[in-house]
Amino acid sequence: MAQKILLKNINIPGINTFEVYRQHGGYAAVEKALKTMSADDVVEEVKKSGLRGRGGAGFPTGMKWSFLAKPEGVPRYLVCNADESEPGTFKDRYLMTHTPHTLIEGMIVSSFALGANTSYIYVRGEMMPQIRILEKAIAEAKNAGFLGKNILGTGYDLEIYVQPGGGAYICGEETALLESLEGKRGNPRIKPPFPAIAGLYGCPTVVNNVESIAAVSWIVVNGGDEYAKIGIGRSTGTKLISASGNINKPGVYEIELGLSVEEFIYSDEYCGGIANGKRLKAVVAGGSSVPILPANLILKLANGQPRLMSYESLAEGGFATGTMLGSGGFIVMDEDACVVRNTWNFSRFYHHESCGQCSPCREGTGWMEKVLHRIEYGHGKMSDIDLLVDVSKKIEGNTICPLGDAAAWPVASAIRHFRDEFEWHVNNPKAAMDGNYGLANYADPIPVVEEAS
């Protein structure tokens, strides 16, 4: 059984309460850090751990922390990004629901490391139950002396506030989040300046994902080196994967990075194979914004080696044959899934969620959505496919925030890998309305039923 860090105690009844959490060793990180370590020590451990941001970009957390500016007399902030709205990603919600103290403990240790005395958890507006859970957990921790003034008599003060968002996906982008937290419209900012220099209220700020912060407690207790031993290469530690789609066992799994994609899909410990005995057609491996890959490319690298669940392995092959780990939203499509419809569905999402600030994304996402809609509904033209490629190419890399890329990649990759399916839609409008293209030549290289059973 693989090592579990974040979800180790998830099945213990009452682990969502302070008492039970504490009985099982919770808040040891706070005691250790505040009483025996300096802030820089904590940063150092996190650096050693190799922990990379779990919000999508995978930027090394320790490095991000060390960039934080520390001007005299200016407050610093830690903001936890719990806006989780990417289609296919639901791990933060799971963690907050079932073991909220894991996040609170991580928040305290991380805030201490950064020298923040006020920290925020920005939670997606629709997650009202989780907001209540977090508020309760904060109250419990405060009651027990782990929050507030002079925590554990160490002289360190910290308040954590939970801020509900308004339900916009874009407010998960860190600078849009900061705008929203400041009470403004959630339009992303242009970087530089980076939040580490001028973030919340113009002050140095670190924005981290729920999962990144939650992992810090374990690192403090067990040491960064221990953490770095888990995983593979520069993908250290464990990662929460939100598995969904046509699989037998959808849900949130904690994996050690480096697990093979094949094992993740087919082993009973994880997804348990494709549902209803069907065959695998494609996977969106890291949340809706990463490129879609057909079965053969997601399971194996170009050189025939198995593809692994790690930042590097998933990205191997670049745009031509690779994808990304992203936020770990693992969406599996079986032979009956329609890639065109799925792409349209994603692009509908990105169109709707574009903040409307920069022209390529604002206008391009809407345009792509319309074109995809008409292809899917049997009114497409052959030139539409190239038009989509052209529009997506002009969006990519030319927008203020990465939502533009996130909207462009699914479209570009779907056409890159499934062009014939698009053409089939154009040429067979009637058939496309009634049925679907099927597995076609994206043969699942693994003889599914036999292997999995």
- The span of 141-149, 340-348, 396-404, 426-434 binding ligand FMN (CB under 6 A) equals 396-404
| 384 near ligand FMN, rule: CB under 6 A | no
Among 20, 370, 378, 429, binds another protein (CB under 8 A): 370
Alpha helices in 2-127 (DSSP H): 18-23, 28-36, 39-49, 61-66, 91-98, 100-114
Q: Give the residue ranges of DSSP H helices in 223-376.
A: 224-229, 261-266, 295-299, 311-315, 318-321, 339-353, 359-376
DSSP 8-state class, residue 45 = H
Between 136 and 185, whose beta carbon lies closer to ligand SF4? Answer: 185
Quick check: 403 and 173 in contact, CB under 8 A?
yes
Residue in this structure with the two tokens 């960064």, named with its chain if needed = 224
Decide: residue 393, CB within 10 A, 0-12 exposed, 13-18 middle, 19+ buried: middle
CB of 383: closest distance to another protein in angstroms? 9
Minimum Å gap between C-beta 121 and ligand FMN is 11
Q: Does 402 bind ligand FMN (CB under 6 A)?
A: yes
Q: In the bound complex, what is the minimum distance in angstroms from residue 194's beta carbon to another protein?
A: 10
Question: Counting beta carbons within 10 angstroms of the beta carbon of residue 320, is it exposed (0 to 12), middle (13 to 18) or buried (19 or more)?
Answer: exposed
When the beta carbons of 97 and 398 are compared against another protein, the nearer one is 398
- For the chain, the straight-line distance linking the first and the last C-alpha, in angstroms and rounded, comes to 19
Contacts of 171 (CB under 8 A, 6+ apart): 83, 85, 122, 124, 165, 177, 180, 186
**x-marked contacts with another protein along 61-90 as a string, rule CB under 8 A:** --------x-x-------------------
Q: Partners of 252 in the beta sheet?
A: 242
Site for another protein in 157-186 (CB under 8 A): 168, 170, 179, 182, 185
The number of residues in the chain equals 453
Interaction between residue 190 and another protein (CB under 8 A): yes
Residue 220 engages ligand SF4 in binding (rule: CB under 6 A): no
| Contact pick of 355, 368, 371, 385 for ligand SF4 (by CB under 6 A) | 355
391 contacts ligand SF4 (rule: CB under 6 A)? no
**Binding positions for ligand SF4, 158-177, rule CB under 6 A:** 170
Contact residues toward another protein (CB under 8 A) are 69, 71, 168, 170, 179, 182, 185, 189-190, 192-193, 197-198, 201-202, 351-360, 362-367, 370, 387, 394, 397-400
| Positions in the binding site for ligand FMN (CB under 6 A) | 53-57, 59, 61, 64, 81, 83-86, 169-170, 172-174, 207-209, 212, 401-403, 406
